[in-house]
Structure 1
Amino acid sequence: MLPDPVIWLVLFIASYIAIYSLADFIIDTLGDISESFCIAPIVLGLLLLGIDLEESIVSLIAAVDGLAYLSLGNLIGNTVIAIGIAFGLPALYLKAEIDQLPRFYYAELIVAGIFVLISMILTDYLFVFGLLSIILFAAHLAYTYRTQRAFQSTRVHTVIDTPKSDLDSEIDAQATKHDRTWAGSKLLLALLVVFLAAEVLVTSAEELVLLTGLNESFFGLIIMAAVTNVEEFWLVVKSIQKGHVALGVSAQVGKILWNTTLIFGLCSLLLVQFRFEIVMLLSSILSLFALVLLAVNLSQNRLSRAAGIGYTTILVAFLIMNSFFAF
């Protein structure tokens, strides 16, 4: 019988490898779906990969229980951490040209960060900023729908005018339907496996920390920050390596906007208001800095090492600051 630490270490490594391996498959499948269904890659990233269920559930449950600092702090902290890990680390050693997202999304990132920051100051008006954040998310959906319509209308289709019998046309239609169904099924299965692997990764990390006696603050701020963003990191890296940069980048932008608009808004409506805390204010300031840097960097159509240093510097400052307030 293997010792418990060895078992949990094996599970940790296996789940990490599963996420790393499936990132390739997910990016390839999304590329196929984009072509087959005529869906803009950024729309797939923003609305499919951009849904962050784990963070949403944690924050919403905490809000229902009245735990304002856990609920909102989780969203603010994850924004800084996600940018630092998913964008900062790849930018340090990978160079990539980025197809520019519509400028609306860059403005949305900054406006969402401003709403969060002001709500940390005017805590009695949290409900109001929650409503504004939800309205911003509605605008996000409307603009994304408009982006998809524009993509469909401008996409060039090469049509070969070859006469076909009714039977040939029916066979082609059935084959296309089968391919789309198969691609969609593979993608859903892969996303499910990645989600389960991420859960195993987090659970095994928790057990390893308990068994090794690591400091809880170190675990919460460093270990958990790293393992909960593993899939985001590898999706960005793999999308760059495979030439599907728009998918990886839009997925991370989508997750950030999902958390800072819709989920922040819903949590704020549930909480109504809360007591001012300086650590929440300082964290939201760092979050806004990270969002502004991200918007500026992406608008330049490239990931740069200088931006990577900026992202990771903000991340390190965030971790040090929260470690200080933890004691």
Structure 2
Amino acid sequence: MPTGRVAVAVTEDMHLFEIAIPCEIFGRPRHNLADPWYELRICAEHPGQTKVGAGFVAGTSHDLNGLDEADTVIVPARANVLDGAPPALLAAVRKAHARGARIASICTGAFVLAEAGLLDGHRATVHWMYASLLAQRFPKVVVDPAVLYVDNGQVLTSAGAAAGLDLCLHLVRSDLGAEIANRLARQLVIAPHRPGGQAQYVRTPLPAKEDDSLAPLLHWTVEHLHRPITIADMAKRQRLTPRTLIRRFCAATGTPPLKWLLTQRVQKACSLLESTDETPARIAELCGLGSEANLRHHFARIVGVPPSGYRRAFRSQHAAPATNGG
């Protein structure tokens, strides 16, 4: 099954990592997943060698006319979002969109799509640090800073850096199905689907170095999610008062202990839904969520889809029974 042509539009002020993401996903042949794989083009206004961030040089094989035959056009992050995008890039992106190509941005590449008018009246996302600026500069865009990516059908946007991987995996999932996307994620040693949104990354979710004394507690908690765990239990393990534990926990992780604990339970449920045949009731028990109704409530609120929908979308071909979990 043909997978299509992907064009990455590169300018001199783009970040190397965000350029490398679509190159890794779409540019390397993966005959064990699909044959043929995608055809990748790296396009720039002046092809050859384009200087990008941190002094690196990107080899660009086509000029911006290379976007004309692409099924998918990806615009990586630009370092300078205060200046307008190059007119040639805006024209090429608008032309590709007009003929029906799928247009996607990584991080601040959303400013290019917004300047081209492709996001007017639509929901979009960007790195949380730039969300207010995007909304201010382009008031017709409905900016959602809480999500990892937004799929409006023909136009897609993603949050910062690693969220570009989430978006590219989503494109593969849309083109080739969940099983191939999951296998690709395993090859890359990344999660096939990250629950939650950007909010969990605004502040460091793991203990900062100055308070790494919480690390054993977090490890113990994750290993015992099947058990009821209270603030008092956690405080006792740390030999702290509940009030002191809450204060230190919030300072180290950016979230209250019980909220963090609930997120870990839901993340474990995601893993079990993907990789086992266990019933929702059993998964709720293994994750410490109590009942199937409780699992459905918290899962839909945090992940955005019900457990049954998540399992259909991300079910592993090699599911197996779950272990007791301790």
Q: Which has the higher helix share?
A: 1
TM-score over 0.5 for the pair: no
**Bigger RCO of structures 1 and 2 (CA < 8 A, at least 6 apart):** 1
Select the structure that is richer in strand: 2
Q: Normalising by structure 2, what TM-score?
A: 0.28
In the superposition, the TM-score normalised over structure 1's length comes to: 0.28
